[in-house]
Structure 1
Amino acid sequence: MLMEDTNELLSGERIYPISFNEAAIDHKERYQLALNYISRDDNILDCATGAGYGAYYLAVNSNCNSVVGIDINEHAINWANENFKTQKNIYLKTDLLEDFSGSLPNNDYDLVTCFETIEHLKDDYGFLKRLSGCMKPGGILIISSPNEEVIPCLANPFYPGGKNPYHHRHYAPSELKNLLNDCGFSIIEAYTQCPDKIVKGENGFVIIYVCKYNNMDHKYSMNTLEQSIEKLSVIQMNRHYQFLNNSLSNSIDFTLINKRIDEILVSNYAFMEVYELIEGSKINLAYQALDQIDEKVCPEKNFLKGLIYQTSGDLYKAIESYTILLSEENRINPIIYSVAKEQFHKIIEMLPK
């Protein structure tokens, strides 16, 4: 291994696992997120693939056609070929600061992943323009970078002297959004990591944008529940990292508060999971997943019960669940309360007179 490779390895910028599970949690979470955006027979490009564990994970856990991993580091490419090669995987030594399109097997990728890469590149605009030239119109780019508003590039608390020598910059959410828009990408989803787990939003350690190329009609937004989950996650993140905790009094014991926040987050995550199962007509799985939700913490559980009973045709049990929910108006998310009230009256109209 070259000396500069050794230095980068010691800095934490490169990792060389021999299985996906050995990779850092935040790295794994980003690739797991990417699975949600893969369709059958997609061709995928993984920029700065490193040791290849992410490209491998996408290949073996999806029905994609191929995953091409590119990286400038020869040792990393060799490692990927030795440890993370399948029939779907191709690994290529490529310089992202040059026109790399000619070295790729094709130039019409359906999905491109670019995790923790763009902050390393001096010419970020040029890189994104070259990248867009390798994508299908309407193709998806999933890109992540450190959040300048949480981890300033010149005052990075994780590095002696405050500067990661491998980073040219970090991005505030507005800066990365503007750069992506200038290069022909429209943002359809925004995620963030607080510090490892991924939630909808932009205010954690790392910003993750899901974008479409050459399709400017898409706009992303967050619903009230997603906004609440992000706020709670950021509060939790701030409590765990003292350098983010300047505004809170050290004279207060936050142990029980943090525990309560954890309980609220778990119930809200479970709420979203059950809702998605109902929306996907997976009623039996949705009913089983209800057990994850603590009704004392998340009284909206009765809304989900109502939806499940309504979808399965048990209208009287649906009315019962909605009635319990509507009796607790002061504790219920107003959007959910409004929808539950609408569904309640809809069912009443459906009952035999």
Structure 2
Amino acid sequence: MGHSRFQASWSKVLVGKKDTAAGTRSVLLTYLQEIRPHQWVKNLLVFVPMLAAHQLDMATFTQSLIAFASFCLIASSVYVLNDLMDIEVDRAHPRKRFRPIASGLVPLAHGRWMAAALLVAGFTLAIWTSLLLALVAAGYYAATLAYSLVIKRQPILDIWLLAGLYTTRILAGAAATEIGLSVWLLAFSGFFFSALAAVKRQAELVDGLSRGKSAAAGRGYRVEDLPLISQIGISAGYVAVLVMALYIESHTVAELYPFRAALLAICPILFFWITRMVMVAHRGNMHDDPIVFAFRDRASQICLVAIGISVWVAASAPFR
């Protein structure tokens, strides 16, 4: 009898410990969800200068990796801050209302501490790497604040600024590694990310239309703007393809790639991918940031692999 009571008591202790561990994991996952690590894929752009210049040594990679970590922390700080500022709008949204702060799973006070701590950690890494990287990071943070407070409600300007934020990540990689950027790369980046920013707005408007909304919440667009936004996305994307084609014919590429003709395959691949992204948004099947969506999308993954093969062939071929 005593033995049975002991077993029962011990079982309760074990169950209690399991429940406590499960509760701790749940809380940690909730806070991890708030900083949105899946959005960090956008910060892989800091590695672009290193890859474009073919500087693949360990020192350059390390500097790029530190810049990546710095921007991940700063970006997460911005995400938390945005959730704090947009809490009422998010609570009225069918999906965003489940975000940790909007749903109340993360208290507002904790959100404020998270935003501050992530920002300090990110800038500490940036300053430790180089003053120039810290200045780029400061510009990025200032631009995100301007976007959150004012620009995101200004049609067209918000698309330009979103494209600029993507390009700033490339500038951060260049600042960390002291690699110069070509005008070609900056031009391609500007048009390419303007296209993706327009697709992002297009997806929001289509989503709002499906829910009977006449305007995008917290934005400066109305449903009747959809055709124009779609045209901006397609036009900017196609100009980016043209810039890529002209860049492939430049002397810089001739020096870096023995068989640069293989790079021409990138143009039709990009043409297909950009057109498809606009179509996916048009059909209401894009529910995330276009870059995050692309990393999960099978067709986009195939396009990325095909581009990688083209670059490898161009760089590795023993003939010109």
Q: Structure 1-normalised TM-score?
A: 0.35
Relative to its length, the structure with more helix (as a share) is: 2
| Structure with greater strand share of residues | 1
